[in-house]
Amino acid sequence: MAETDVSSTEKRRASQTAVETGLAGEDDAAMLAKLGYKQELRRNFTMLEVFGIAFSIMGLLPSIASTLAYSIPAGPAGLVWGWFLASMFIFFVGLAMADLGSAMPTSGGLYWWTHFFASPKSRNALSFLVGYSNTLGLVGGLCSIDYGFSLMFLSVIVIAKDGEWAPSSGVVYAVFLACVLCHGVLASSVSKSMGKLQTVFVAMNFILIFATIIALPIGRAGQRNDAKYIFATTGNLTTWPTGWAFMISWLSPIWTIGAFDSCVHMSEEAANATKAVPYGILMSIGSCWLFGWILCIVIAACMSQDLESLLGTSFGQPMAQIYYDALGKRGAIGMMTLLFVVQFLMGLSITVAASRQTWAFSRDGALPFSRYIRVINQKLGFIPFNAVWFCVILAALLGLLTLIGPAAASAVFSLAVAGNDVAWGVPILARVVWGQKKFVPGPFYTGRFSVPIAWIAIIFLCFGIVLSMFPTTGPNPTSESMNYTVVINMGVWGGALAYYYLDARKWFTGPKITLSADELTEEQERALAEEGLVIDVAGQSDSLGGQSGDHEKKDIEKASS
């Protein structure tokens, strides 16, 4: 699809319906119309709230706690410097995505950008691949967050019972399932307040962060580790070389700071999206980079130097043992309770973000049952109700793999890393390789540094994909310690491409125009044609409520050459 330059009069014409129904302001609706979409979701999110949904999904301290098993084996220096360096490179990825998000803010941004920038021969297949990788990556993120919640919730019970009880896999899954279902109910019922709730979620995150920064050093007074131990002492509890054990520690920030694309998926619910999206991305990454580094320093200063005992704690969570050592039983229960509450809020936010990507992809007809998934529920506040529950059901089914064992669970959760890395990297690559001349910057733009930043982001994402597929404990893994990320993700990527070439290539032609005939201006049509696009008037469309309507859709098919 093409972004066109239309007059202010024509913009008002294209966005008139959205403004009259109160879904969006004139500029936002006109911007979306230039991308070919009519406004269907209500723009309830301010810039701060867009930042909030990304930051609350990242759930800084709960995520660090969930991934200490990657960091602690590299020693305190691996924990501290691994976080700092990986976060720096993630910020480059955020800058590259912010350039795109400001220029073309739409809920399906990643696969939309891929289709817009890629070559005519590859754009459909790559867009299809990115859409599936991103959708399943977000659902994998929901699985991993809610599974982490179940472990934290149950760790409180274990602490209360002095480590004399251990939950079975069935109990862990039952708590996981209850959590996923609660998120589905809340994402469906409190949608009108979801933007405002993000401010509350951010506040809860910072309360937990500052409580930990203050409480741990006080609790470990007289037992704190010195600066040399914190910043200069490496370790290696793996059978990899020490240098590679340090690189494995990067998986903690890579997994934690992995939800900034949620700002893109909220584009069509954000006011002043061309600024809210890029600044939401950078503010969320920057906050996690800074406060995450501070937390890592505090944890390294206050944790026991017996790293093996931390990893093998009977509480099931190294962070629970760190709290217990510093604050005692009651203090550990209190802090872990606050931790799993924040983790629960993370899951709610990613349910919302995943549903918006799913809805956008189904709007373009790419998912099975798209005609049902893409329906917008007006009564509940113009939300993609069916898409929410599609994500919930898919997460519940994927979660069944956790019953097999930790290796299978980790493989499912790896979708949140490798799957999203592919989804982020391909549109950035497509822009600098094929589409740089087509790129028209938005209000946020990194200027002459934009292309070098993009290449740094691409190289880092490729490295992150490879890193996520290594066994974390060392070479020659057993069936229990094997990293099945390569199996799961190759299944997703191979399955998506096989589906495309065997069937979807016959009907998937990329993002579609959803504006009705009277909303698409003549100048828009001319500009689309100048981009090498053939406009095909086709079929009937579903109305916002899901009933068949009389609007004439104009689907865009990219010219093959």
* Averaged confidence pLDDT in the chain: 84
**Cα separation, 3 vs 142, whole angstroms:** 33
Mean pLDDT value across residues 63-74: 91
Which of 152-156, 234-238, 401-405 is predicted least confidently?
401-405
Q: What percent of the chain has pLDDT over 90?
A: 47
Confidence (pLDDT) at 324: 92
* DSSP label at residue 472: S
Query: Residue 169's CB: how many other CB atoms inside 10 A?
Result: 13
Residue 26 has pLDDT above 70, yes or no: no
Q: Please check the confidence at residue 552 and state whether its pLDDT lies above 90.
A: no
Phi, psi of 13 (to 5 degrees): -65, -45
pLDDT at 20 over 50: no
In this predicted model, which residue has the larger pLDDT, 318 or 376?
318
- The yes-or-no verdict on residue 542 having pLDDT over 80 is no
pLDDT band for position 393 (50/70/90)? very high
85 vs 63 pLDDT, higher one: 85
Q: What is the pLDDT of residues 186-234, one digit of tens each?
A: 998 887 777 778 888 899 999 999 999 999 999 998 889 999 999 999 9
In angstroms, the CA 24 to CA 40 distance is: 9
Instruction: State which amino acid sits at residue 421.
Output: D
How sure is the predictor about 550, in pLDDT bands with cuts at 50, 70 and 90?
Answer: very low
Mean pLDDT value across residues 19-43 = 71
- Name the pLDDT band for 521 (thresholds 50, 70, 90): low
Mean pLDDT of 121-128: 93
Residue 514: band (very low, low, confident or very high) from pLDDT cuts 50, 70, 90: low
| Distance of alpha carbon 75 from alpha carbon 229, whole angstroms | 9
Query: Can you tell me the mean pLDDT for 47-69?
Result: 90
Q: How many residues does the chain have?
A: 561
Q: Residue 542's closest CA among 553, 554, 531? A: 553
Beta bridge mates, 542: 548
Residue 447 has pLDDT above 70, yes or no: yes
What tens digit of pLDDT does each residue of 522-541 get?
554 554 455 444 444 433 33
Task: Report the alpha-carbon distance of residue 64 to residue 192 in Å, rounded.
Answer: 31
pLDDT over 80 at 380, yes or no = no
Mean pLDDT of 375-389: 84
Q: Say if residue 397 is exposed, middle or buried (CB neighbours under 10 Å; 0-12, 13-18, 19+).
A: exposed
Q: What residue type is assigned to position 78 of the chain?
A: G
pLDDT for 554 beyond 50 = no
Task: Give the pLDDT confidence of 418-442 residue by residue, as tens digits.
Answer: 889 999 999 999 999 998 888 889 9
pLDDT at residue 21, as a whole number: 53
Helix then strand then coil, % of the chain, to nearest 5 = 70, 5, 25
Percent of the chain having pLDDT more than 70?
A: 86
Encode burial over 353-392: b for 16+ CB neighbours within 10 A, e otherwise: bbbbbbbbbbbbbbbeebeebbbbbbeebbbbbbbbbbbb
> Model confidence at 269, in pLDDT bands (50, 70, 90)?
confident
Within 190-312, residue ranges assigned H as helices are 194-219, 227-232, 242-248, 251-256, 262-265, 273-302, 307-311
Mean pLDDT of 297-325: 91
pLDDT in the model for residue 529: 54
Q: Say which residue, 546 or 59, is predicted with more confidence.
A: 59
What is the pLDDT at residue 481?
A: 79
At residue 532, the pLDDT reads 47
